[in-house]
């Protein structure tokens, strides 16, 4: 049986492939990973640097790799959604004004959208599975917050034989009278 952490090493491999994605982007023009920054090479380079920082963080704190991937892919999806809707609104406005417009979406843009969605989905499941495996179903207590009160000890119910001994009347001839 494999450990839960061993099943999700692909997230680190995804971030370790960042230099290959950057090379394909800047040398070959295949912008698969940072399609939201198609026209801004400086922002694309910054995004690739952030992905390398995610790689370093996932090696420094392996337990955080799912949450790191979830945060990065959430940011990527947000940027992609903006990159979809802003050109869509510009194209709709151009169509209403009677101006010609070209499709702002490429095949690489769609590939990036599906890649980011797949990483987001897988990392959210990993985060859910690893938190459930550790028994965390609610948030941790913040640092400095007082500890919750200790649970009260609950006595088990008395057995019928011990209850009858306690409630049994004393013999009338007992001392104490």
Q: pTM of whole model > 0.85?
A: no
Instruction: Give whole-number Cα distances, 22 to 8, 14, 124, in Å.
Output: 23, 13, 25
Q: 83: closest CA among 44, 122, 124?
A: 44
pLDDT score recorded for residue 1: 41
Cα–Cα distance between 95 and 18 in angstroms, integer?
Answer: 38
CA 35 to chain centre: 21
Q: What pLDDT is attached to residue 2?
A: 47
In the predicted model, residues of the chain with pLDDT beneath 70 are: 1-8, 127, 129-142, 151, 153-177
Could you report the per-residue pLDDT of 3-55, keeping only the tens digit for each? 545 545 777 888 889 999 999 989 988 888 887 787 888 999 999 999 999 99
The residue assigned the tokens 């090493």 is: 9
The pLDDT assigned to 170 comes to: 60
Residues 6+ apart with CB under 8 A from 8: 65, 66, 122, 126, 130
pLDDT at 56: 92
């Amino acid at each position: 049986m494999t450990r839960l952490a061993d099943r999700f090493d692909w997230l680190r491999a995804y971030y370790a492939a960042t230099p290959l994605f950057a090379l394909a982007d800047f040398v070959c023009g295949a912008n698969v990973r940072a399609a939201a920054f198609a026209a801004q090479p400086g922002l694309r380079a910054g995004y690739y640097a952030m992905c390398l920082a995610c790689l370093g963080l996932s090696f420094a704190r392996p337990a955080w790799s799912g949450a790191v991937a979830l945060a990065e892919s959430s940011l990527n999806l947000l940027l992609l959604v903006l990159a979809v809707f802003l050109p869509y609104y510009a194209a709709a406005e151009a169509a209403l004004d009677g101006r010609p417009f070209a499709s702002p979406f490429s095949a690489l843009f769609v590939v990036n959208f599906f890649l980011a969605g797949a990483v987001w989905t897988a990392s959210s499941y990993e985060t859910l599975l690893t938190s459930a495996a550790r028994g965390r179903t609610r948030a941790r207590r913040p640092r400095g917050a007082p500890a919750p009160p200790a649970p009260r000890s609950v006595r088990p119910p008395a057995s019928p034989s011990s209850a009858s001994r306690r409630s049994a009347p004393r013999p009338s001839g007992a001392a104490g009278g």
